[in-house]
Structures are given as structure tokens and as C-alpha cells.
């Protein structure tokens, strides 16, 4: 492969999982098939009552299962970070899939291009395509054509970053069931981290009955609550630095 030096970057992959025995095996496989190998795959079983742990443990080798009482997706990701050893961090939701070149492409970008003299990015995202999970009844959900077009993957599963960058931005917010990544990403923006999004599609996001409920935008009040925090921080920063927010008219 024409990728970064295999011995250079140690990537820990964290997969939070809760009652995801149906999909977690495919997710793990998509990590193990990477052209640039991770040093470990930590599946954080967030108090599942199904066979999630057993499925994950059956892989052995690089795959390690960490179990905790149910505390939510953000807490599971944080637990994985705490238990990981790599100097780079990547995340994958238990129902999603990576393309095989995901880590290699992002690591090359993260290393930067010394010939240009431009500072290397600190966080790299890819594009994402959504796909209908095979068991999802076609008649149950209308999936518009545009839903399968590549979209900017500002999503934890599409991200690679160094541990030191993660540490500086801080933990995922654990007191929100939804929107924890919005809050985290907003903090990255506030710190003016160098963020790039490669045009390459690196992650496939599974649409299934469970997350289609959210696509129907039911009960999304927590998003507004998360954004309240973001706005409050920006107002405080504006008062301190005089920097302006991104406004739409």
C-alpha cells in the first residue's frame, strides 16, 4: 500500500455498542480489513442485554471488549478513550462501516505535506454515504435519492485525530443522549483547530428502523439544549475576544 509508515502511528479504534449484536460484527470486520492496521479495537459494551459482547469477543486478537453499565453513547466513547493506548483515535458506531482505506487516507492527510510548508491538519474527516440496512423493509421507509449521495462526514465515525488534540478539546458531553458530538465539534471550532474534510467517501452510515426514527425528526429538543451551550460559550468568547459568530441572514 502507499500509505503512511505502518510503525509510525498507533491508532486506537473505539466502537461504542449497546444491544447491537446484529451489526457490530460487520463494523469490527470493516476495521480489521483496513489497509492501515489499527493497534487495537475497543468495543465498549454499554450495558447490552443481548449478545453484543459475545459477538465482539469472538474476534479475539486486536479486538478487546470493555463492559460498563449503560451510560449512553458519549460515555461509552469516553470510556474507550480512557482505556485506549494509541496516540491516534478513531471511532466507529456499531452499526456503521468503514471503507477499507479509511485510516490510510486520513493518516496521510494528518501527517501533512512537508513540501508545501502548510501546517498539517489536526482533525481529518471524510465523506459519508448512507445505505439502507438490508433488513430494512423498503415499504417501511421512503429513502429519497439524495439520502444516498455523499455528504460531508462531520461525524465521529468519519474522524481521525491525534490523542493530544482530543485531550485539548475534551471529553464528549455525557449528559445528553443526542447531540454530544455537536457540542464536541463546536468546541473544536472554538479552539480554531485545523479541520479538513477529504472528498473521499470513507464511511457508510447504516439507515435502519431505529435511526430512521430520528430522521423523522421526532423529539429533537435535545439539539436545542446542546446548541444553547454552544451559543453561551460563543457569547462569552465574543465578550472576551470580540470575535464574531457565524451569522446567517
| List of residues contacting other proteins (CB under 8 A) | 18-20, 22-23, 48-50, 72-73, 93-95, 128, 133, 135-137, 140, 151-155, 177-179, 181-182, 185-186, 189, 205-206, 208-211, 213-218, 220-221, 223-225, 227-228, 230-231, 245-249
Cβ closest to other proteins, residue 107 vs residue 128: 128
Smallest distance, other proteins to C-beta of residue 157, A: 8
Angle, vertex CA 29, rays to CA 23 and CA 34, nearest 5: 135
Smallest distance, other proteins to C-beta of residue 95, A: 4
The position carrying cell 449512553 is: 72
Grid cell, residue 73, equals 453513547
Cβ closest to other proteins, residue 4 vs residue 156: 156
Cβ closest to other proteins, residue 108 vs residue 129: 129
Smallest distance, other proteins to C-beta of residue 35, A: 25
On whether the CB atoms of residues 81 and 15 are closer than 8 A, the answer is no
Q: How are the residues of the chain apportioned to helix, strand and coil, as percentages rounded to the nearest 5? A: 35, 20, 40
Cβ closest to other proteins, residue 1 vs residue 245: 245
Strands 195-207 and 40-46: unpaired
CA distances for 85 relative to 1, 80, 141, 224, angstroms: 25, 10, 41, 35
Amino acid at each position: 500500500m502507499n500509505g503512511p509508515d505502518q510503525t509510525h502511528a498507533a491508532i486506537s479504534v473505539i466502537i461504542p455498542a449497546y444491544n447491537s449484536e446484529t451489526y457490530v460484527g460487520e463494523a469490527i470486520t470493516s476495521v480489521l480489513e483496513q489497509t492501515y492496521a489499527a493497534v487495537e479495537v475497543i468495543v465498549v459494551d454499554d450495558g447490552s442485554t443481548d449478545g453484543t459482547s459475545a459477538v465482539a469477543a469472538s474476534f479475539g486478537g486486536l479486538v478487546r471488549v470493555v463492559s460498563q453499565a449503560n451510560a449512553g453513547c458519549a460515555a461509552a466513547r469516553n470510556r474507550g478513550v480512557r482505556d485506549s493506548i494509541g496516540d491516534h483515535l478513531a471511532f466507529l458506531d456499531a452499526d456503521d462501516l468503514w471503507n477499507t482505506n479509511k485510516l490510510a487516507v486520513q493518516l496521510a492527510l494528518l501527517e501533512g505535506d512537508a513540501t508545501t510548508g502548510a501546517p498539517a491538519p489536526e482533525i481529518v474527516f471524510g465523506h459519508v454515504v448512507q445505505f439502507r440496512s438490508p433488513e430494512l423493509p423498503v415499504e417501511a421507509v421512503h429513502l429519497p435519492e439524495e439520502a444516498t449521495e455523499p455528504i460531508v462526514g462531520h461525524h465521529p465515525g468519519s474522524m481521525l485525530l491525534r490523542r493530544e488534540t482530543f485531550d485539548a478539546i475534551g471529553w464528549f458531553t455525557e449528559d445528553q443522549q443526542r447531540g454530544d458530538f455537536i457540542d464536541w465539534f463546536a468546541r473544536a471550532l472554538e479552539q480554531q483547530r485545523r479541520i479538513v474534510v477529504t472528498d473521499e467517501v470513507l464511511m457508510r452510515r447504516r439507515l435502519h428502523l431505529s435511526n430512521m426514527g430520528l430522521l423523522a425528526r421526532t423529539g429533537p429538543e435535545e439539539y436545542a439544549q446542546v446548541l444553547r451551550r454552544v451559543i453561551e460559550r460563543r457569547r462569552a468568547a465574543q465578550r472576551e475576544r470580540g470575535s464574531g459568530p457565524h451569522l446567517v441572514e
